[in-house]
Structure 1
C-alpha cells in the first residue's frame, strides 16, 4: 500500500519538473537571437494541399551565400481582399532564366478576427493552376506561408498570379457584417523565389520588361548622367525615359536622375548610364571600347560585378540620340495607327479593350467567368478603356445584358447594383419570389461617371433570405448556391459623341491628350537642368508615354516665352515660371512669392481664417446665402448645378495653393487659345521631385481631373479644381451623326440654353403656323 501511495507523488513530481523545463524555454515574443521557429511548407500526402508547419531551426553553422532572389508580385503598398468573395490578379513578367528557376511562391497575410477559419479559404492560383490553398486563420498577426510551384508552370513572358478569398463571418448573417470581412496581403512578404543569376538577370532590351517591383510595389529607373547640365542631353534623356517606360509598363514607375553611380540596386530598380564615352569612362571601367567610335545601347557588368547595368553611350550626343531612337522605335506606336486596347500592368495580365463607339462584348471576353455564390453580398467587375475624345457624359447610356439566376430562398428587397469608377450608376431590384433566371436582362448604365482612359465597372448583388434573418448556428457557412452570374452576359455601349475638350487633366492622365496624336514635337521647357527637374520631367513623360501608348516627340526650349502657339509642357519651381505662363494656366500670380514661404505663414493663416469667418457671417443673411442654399437644394433634389443654368461659361478661378500643398499640375490654353500648356510646379526643386513621384503612383495618377490638381503633404487624395471654360477640338472627320451627338450632349449639359432654344423654336413654329393659317385660311 505504501508503494501505491508513492506513485501519485512520483507522477506529480515528474509533471512539475516537465513544466519547469518548458518554462525555461525562451519566450517567442522576446527571442532576439534569430532562433525563432521558421515557417516552411511541406506537401501533405493523400492529395491534400500543402500545409504550413512550425519547425525549429537547427544549430547555426557558418553563413552561406544566399542563392535565391525575390520577384515581388503586388504593384501596390497594400492589398485588401474584402467581402465574402474577393479576387485580385497580377501579371508577372519573367525572363527565361527566371521562369525555369522559380521554385516557390511566398505569401504573407493577416485577416479580420471575425472571419470563421473553418469556412473561409485563401487560394493562390498561378496561370490558372491552383498551387496552394489554406484556411484564413491569421487574426493575431501576419503569417507567412510558402507553396511549391510545379516545374514548367511558369513561362517566359507574362504570367498571371491570382489571390482568391472566400470569407465567412463567425456569428453574424447580416449584409452589414460582410463589410467587416477582410484579408490583408503584405506585398513585401509576397513574392516568387527564383535562383539568383550572378551574371545579372537582364541581358537584352527585351528583358527590361522583367525589371519587376520593389517591396512596396514601386519600380524605379536610376539614370546616371555625369553631364546632366548639358542642353544637348535633355532630348535624349526624355526620349529614353519614355522608351524604358513603354518597355516596362509598370503602374508605379519613376525616374531618378543622378550624376554618380549608386553602389547597389534594390528589387524593382534598374541602373541606366547615359553619356558620352569620355564622360562614362571614369565611372565604368568595363565600358565597351566601341563606344568611342559608335553608339552602343547594351547591358554591361557593374564595377562591383554584382549586377548588370544598362549603358547608352557614344562618341557624342547626336550618336547617343541615334542609339536611343533605335531602342525606342520597335516599341513605339506610329502616328495614325489606332490602338484597340489600353496596355498597363495593374489588375490583371490582359489588356483592357478600348471602346471607341458602338460595341458589344461578353463578360467572358472581359475576363469575368461564370460563378456561383452562396453568401450575402457578391461583387465582381472588369475594366474597359474610353478614348480621349469621349463626350457623352450628360446623356449617354450603356447597357448590361445580364444572364444570372437566383434561388427560391432569395427574398424581395434584394438588388443588383452597378458601379462605375466607384460611383453607383444603376440599381435593379429583385421583386419576385420562388427564384428566377435572367436571360439578357437589360440594365441601363448612365455614362456620366465614365472618363477617358481606364474605367472600372463593378457588379454587386445583395441577397436577403429568411435564413439570414434567423441566423442559426453555422448558417453563415452554408454552401448551397443562392446566386449565379454567367459569362454569357454582355456589355453594350452605344455610338457616342467624339470631340475633345481642353483643358482636361482626366484625359491627360487617361490617354495623354492632347499630346498623344500630334505630329509636331511638343515644346518642353525646364527652368533648370538639375537632378530634381530632370527627374520630375522624366517621370511625367514616362507616365504620358504609357497612357498614350507611344513615345512623344519633344523639343526642349530655352525660354518659355519662345513657345508661342504650340502644345507645351513646362516644368519648374513656381518662382522661376514667367507670369504669362501662370496667367494662362490660371495660377494666382502672388503664389510665385507666397507659396512655400516660411515667414509670415502664421499671420497669413490667421488672416485667411478670419476672412473665411466673416465671409460666412455675411453670406448667412444676404441674398448670396439664399442663392447658395438654392444651389444646394437644386443639386440634392434634381442633381442640377447653377453652372448648367448659364448661357455663357463662368470665369476660371485662379488657383492659389494652400500651405499643405507641395505640388501642382495645371493646364490652360496658349495666349491665342490654339494650343494647350501643361505646367508642373512646386515651391522647391525637392518638392517638385517628391510631388511628381507621389502623383506617378497609379492610384493618384488616376485622380488627375479638371483644370488643376494639387498634391498635399500627407493628403489621401488630390485636390482637383473643375474647368469652367472648355475649348472643343475636332478629332473625327465631320459627319452629321457625330455633330448631332455632340449637340445632344452639349444641350444636356446646358439646360438653360436648351430651354431658350426650345422656346425660340416654339415661337418660330407659332409664327409660321399663324402665317400659314392667315394665308390659306382655316380648314373645314
Structure 2
C-alpha cells in the first residue's frame, strides 16, 4: 500500500532524528545510567593505605594539558585523598608562596572523578583562589579521572598565605531521597591537583622566611631530609632535635616528617627540603659551596646544591656549641615565650581559617569562625567550623555548650525534618523541625553536650535534613530545583560556658592536641634514645616536630644516656621494645614479656592465638553459669540502655591493664607516671628500628595524630584507626590558681563521672541532714 508523500516524509524525518540521537549520544550524557555495567561496580573510591582507587582508564581532558615537570608543581591538598560528599561540599586549603612563586605562577591544575549517579547538567565544580573564582565546570567524569587546567589572573596570588577552595554542588540523576545524597561525591586527586610554577623559582628557597613555602608532595606529605655526617656523636643530638622543632614551626605543615641521614641525596622531590647540619670540617668534603665563614662563626643559610637546580639549607660552624647558637638564633623570632598565652591554634593545620582557642566562657559568631551566610536548595546541608580547646579542659561529663542559630526554612519543608549537631564526628544533639508553614529562627538555642570535645583542634558540624512533598513525588527535574529551602546566617553564634580547668595525666589526647605536659615547663624535658642511629633520631625529630606545632613553641630537651638517670622528671623515651628497661615498661603499663614476644616468630603468635580461641570457646560453653559472663552482659545492658559503664560505678579507680601488643601492631605511644608519680613519661617504641621510623611516619599524618588518646595508642599496618586504651586511674595536675568557682566545676565533673561516689555522698548528706533535723526538733521539744 502506498503512503501519502507527506506521511512518508514525516516517517523519514523521525527515523533520521532517531538515528542521529543514537549515533551522537556520548557516554557522559545526563541520563545514561550505564546499564551494561557489572552490577555493584558503582561505589566510592576504596581507600587502600590512604590512596583512593579509581578506574584505571583516564578520560582525555577537554583541554590538552602538557605533563609538567614534577618540580614545577605546587601541590595543594595535604592528604592522600579528598572526597567532596553530598549535595553541597566545600574544602579550603592554605598555600604558602614565596614572592617569586606568587609572581610567576601561571595556572592551577585539577584532577577529579565523580559518582556515576551525579547529574552533570545540574552539578558544578568550582575552583576559587583567594575568594576569586578561577574556573567552573560541570561534574562529568564518571568514567575516570579528568584533568583540567585554569589560567590564573596576573596578581591574584600573593606572597605568603593564599587560600584555594574547591566547591562542589551535586544533584542526583533520578532520586530525590535524603538517602540518595550519600551516593553523591567528587574525588579530587591530590597528585594531579597543583599550581604550576616555573622550575627555576619553584624549588629555590632563598631565606629562612621561605621555609614556610616548602610545600607538599603528591601524597600530601612534607619531608625534611637532615644530613648529619656526625649524627652518632651525643653532642649533636640536642642541636638536631632543636633544629627539627624550629623547621617544623616555620613550615607548620600538617603531615611533616624528618629523615636524618649521613649522606647528601642526589635529588629532592616536591615537598622536600634538604638540610645539612654539622661542623665546617664535616661538611666541606660534600659541599663545595659551603660558606667560608663557617670555619670561624655559625651560619644558617641557603646555598646551591652540588648538582641540580635547587637550594639546600646549611647550619654549620666551627664546633657544635656554635651550631647550637645558630639554631637558637633561628628559633628566637618564632618561638613563643613561656607565660605568653596563645589565642589561636596553628592556622595551617586544618583548612585555611583561623582556629580560635576557647579557654573559658566565650561567644563567637559564625562569621568569625569562617561560616558564611548561605542558601540551600537540596535535601541534606552540612557545614561546620573548628575551635581549639586547652589541655586542661575538664567538662566532658556534665558540661553543655550552646549554638544560637539564625536560620530560616521554606513552607514546603515538612515536619520530620531536623537539624543535627556533630562534634568530632559524633552526634551531640538533634533538633526537630515541627512547623508546616516555614519559619525563621532567631538565636534558636541548641544545647551541645561537651562529652566529645578534646584538648586541641575540634570540629563542630551542623547538618540539616530537609523533607518535602516534592521529594516524595520526585518528578523529572525535581532534583535540580533552584528554589531555596533553607538558609543559615553568619550571625549565628557558638557559646562556650565556663568550664573546669584542671589537667589529667596520663592523657595522650592532650599530648597530641596541645603538647601537654611538655608545652609549659621551664626545665628541659629528659630525652632518652636507646641508640643514636638514623631510625631512632628520625623518629625523635618527627615526634618533637609534631609536638612543637601542637604546643606552639619549641620544647627544651636534655638528652640522657641512661633511662635510669631520669628520675622524677618529665621524659620522652624512644627506642625498640627490647632496649627499654623493665622499669620504663612497667611505669607506662607495657607488659614485660613484650620485650621478647613483640615482633617475634610467627609461631609464638599463632600459639597465643590458638590459646585465646580455646579460652573463648570454653567461656562460651559455660557463660550461662559464669558470674563473669553475667557481669559482662549486665555491663553491656547498662551501656546500651543508660550509657553507664561499670567503671563509673567504682568508688576507687582500678589499675590500668598491662598492654601486650599483638603481631599486627608495629608502633605504640604510651604514657605513664614516674615511680613517685610526680612526673610524666612518654614512650615511643616498636619491635625494630625500621618499624619505629615507619610507625612514626604513619603517626605523623594529621588525621592519625589527632586519634591519640588514653594511656596507650597502638598503630597497626593496614588499619586506619588507632587502638587506644582508656585511662582508669587519673592523676590531677593543677594548672590554674585555686578558686572556689573552678573547684566547684571540677567537683561537678568528677561526681558526674563517678555516679556511685555521688550516690554515696548524697546518701551521707541525707543522713546527716536527718540527724541534724532530728536534733533540732528535740532541742525545741518537738521530738517524738
Alignment TM-score, normalising by the size of structure 2: 0.91
Aligned partners of 2:59 and 2:145 also within 8 Å: no
Of 302, 318, 323, 2:326 maps to 323
CA offset digits 1:639-662 (Å, max 9, x no partner)? 000000000001110000001000
CA offset digits 1:612-652 (Å, max 9, x no partner)? 33334344431111111111111111100000000000111
Q: CA deviation at 1:306?
A: 1.8
Of 485, 491, 495, 2:494 maps to 491
Secondary structure, aligned partner of 1:593: helix
Of 547, 550, 553, 2:553 maps to 550
Could you say which residue in structure 2 is the equivalent of 1:720? Answer: 724
1:403 maps onto 2:406 in alignment: yes
Could you say which residue in structure 1 is the equivalent of 2:63? Answer: 53
Could you say which residue in structure 2 is the equivalent of 1:79? Answer: 82
Secondary structure, aligned partner of 1:98: helix
CA distance in 1, matches of 2:290, 2:175: 66
CA distance in 2, matches of 1:557, 1:478: 67
> Residues 384-399 of structure 1 correspond to what in structure 2 (within 5 A)?
384-399=387-402
Aligned partners of 1:198 and 1:307 also within 8 Å: no
Aligned partners of 1:97 and 1:201 also within 8 Å: no
Closer/same/farther in 2, CA of residues 707 and 778 from structure 1, 3 Å limit? same
Of 454, 460, 464, 1:461 maps to 464
Aligned partners of 2:60 and 2:146 also within 8 Å: no
Could you say which residue in structure 1 is the equivalent of 2:189? Answer: 186
Closer/same/farther in 2, CA of residues 67 and 391 from structure 1, 3 Å limit? closer
Of 605, 608, 613, 2:609 maps to 605
CA distance in 2, matches of 1:133, 1:482: 24
Of 770, 773, 777, 1:769 maps to 773
Structure 1's consecutive aligned runs of 4 or more residues displaced over 6 angstroms after TM superposition are: none
CA offset digits 1:362-409 (Å, max 9, x no partner)? 000000000000000000000000000000000000000000000000
CA offset digits 1:231-272 (Å, max 9, x no partner)? 000000000000000000000000000000000000000000
Of 338, 342, 350, 1:339 maps to 342
Of 417, 430, 446, 2:420 maps to 417
CA distance in 1, matches of 2:409, 2:602: 66
Aligned partners of 1:199 and 1:308 also within 8 Å: no
Aligned partners of 2:383 and 2:462 also within 8 Å: yes
Q: CA deviation at 1:713?
A: 1.1
RMSD: 1.7
Could you say which residue in structure 2 is the equivalent of 1:289? Answer: 292
Alignment TM-score, normalising by the size of structure 1: 0.92
Q: CA deviation at 1:600?
A: 2.8
Of 256, 269, 274, 2:277 maps to 274
Of 549, 574, 584, 1:571 maps to 574
Name structure 2 gaps, 5 residues minimum: 1-22, 24-57
Secondary structure, aligned partner of 1:739: helix
Closer/same/farther in 2, CA of residues 307 and 462 from structure 1, 3 Å limit? same
Number of aligned positions between the proteins: 727
Aligned partners of 1:67 and 1:195 also within 8 Å: no
Closer/same/farther in 2, CA of residues 198 and 442 from structure 1, 3 Å limit? closer
CA distance in 2, matches of 1:624, 1:68: 62
CA distance in 1, matches of 2:710, 2:453: 14
Name structure 1 gaps, 5 residues minimum: 1-18, 20-35, 40-51, 58-63
Could you say which residue in structure 2 is the equivalent of 1:306? Answer: 309
CA offset digits 1:81-105 (Å, max 9, x no partner)? 0000000000000000000001100
Of 648, 657, 663, 2:661 maps to 657
Closer/same/farther in 2, CA of residues 617 and 280 from structure 1, 3 Å limit? farther
CA distance in 1, matches of 2:387, 2:622: 48
Q: CA deviation at 1:38?
A: 6.8
CA distance in 1, matches of 2:244, 2:177: 51
Secondary structure, aligned partner of 1:92: strand
Could you say which residue in structure 1 is the equivalent of 2:361? Answer: 358
Aligned partners of 1:251 and 1:344 also within 8 Å: no
Could you say which residue in structure 2 is the equivalent of 1:257? Answer: 260
> Residues 217-232 of structure 1 correspond to what in structure 2 (within 5 A)?
217-232=220-235
CA offset digits 1:267-292 (Å, max 9, x no partner)? 00000000000110111011011111
Secondary structure, aligned partner of 1:331: coil
Aligned partners of 1:169 and 1:177 also within 8 Å: yes
Aligned partners of 2:71 and 2:270 also within 8 Å: no
Secondary structure, aligned partner of 1:108: strand
Closer/same/farther in 2, CA of residues 175 and 199 from structure 1, 3 Å limit? closer
1:687 maps onto 2:691 in alignment: yes
Of 590, 593, 597, 1:594 maps to 597
Q: CA deviation at 1:305?
A: 4.2
Q: CA deviation at 1:603?
A: 2.5
> Residues 22-37 of structure 1 correspond to what in structure 2 (within 5 A)?
none
Q: CA deviation at 1:686?
A: 0.2
Could you say which residue in structure 2 is the equivalent of 1:640? Answer: 644
Q: CA deviation at 1:37?
A: 9.9
Aligned partners of 2:598 and 2:663 also within 8 Å: yes
CA distance in 2, matches of 1:305, 1:78: 31
Could you say which residue in structure 1 is the equivalent of 2:20? Answer: none
CA distance in 2, matches of 1:314, 1:598: 47
CA distance in 1, matches of 2:601, 2:435: 66
Q: CA deviation at 1:348?
A: 2.1
Could you say which residue in structure 2 is the equivalent of 1:13? Answer: none
CA distance in 1, matches of 2:371, 2:549: 25
CA offset digits 1:658-713 (Å, max 9, x no partner)? 01000010000000000000000000000000000000000100000000000001
Could you say which residue in structure 2 is the equivalent of 1:531? Answer: 534
Closer/same/farther in 2, CA of residues 106 and 617 from structure 1, 3 Å limit? same
CA offset digits 1:185-240 (Å, max 9, x no partner)? 00000000011226952000000000000000000000000011000000000000
CA distance in 1, matches of 2:157, 2:555: 34
CA offset digits 1:547-596 (Å, max 9, x no partner)? 00000000000000000000000000000000000000000000000000
Secondary structure, aligned partner of 1:160: strand
CA offset digits 1:703-726 (Å, max 9, x no partner)? 000000000011121000111101
1:631 maps onto 2:635 in alignment: yes
1:123 maps onto 2:126 in alignment: yes
CA distance in 1, matches of 2:217, 2:229: 26
Q: CA deviation at 1:330?
A: 0.9
CA offset digits 1:457-478 (Å, max 9, x no partner)? 0000000000000000000000
CA distance in 2, matches of 1:508, 1:304: 41
CA distance in 2, matches of 1:76, 1:752: 45
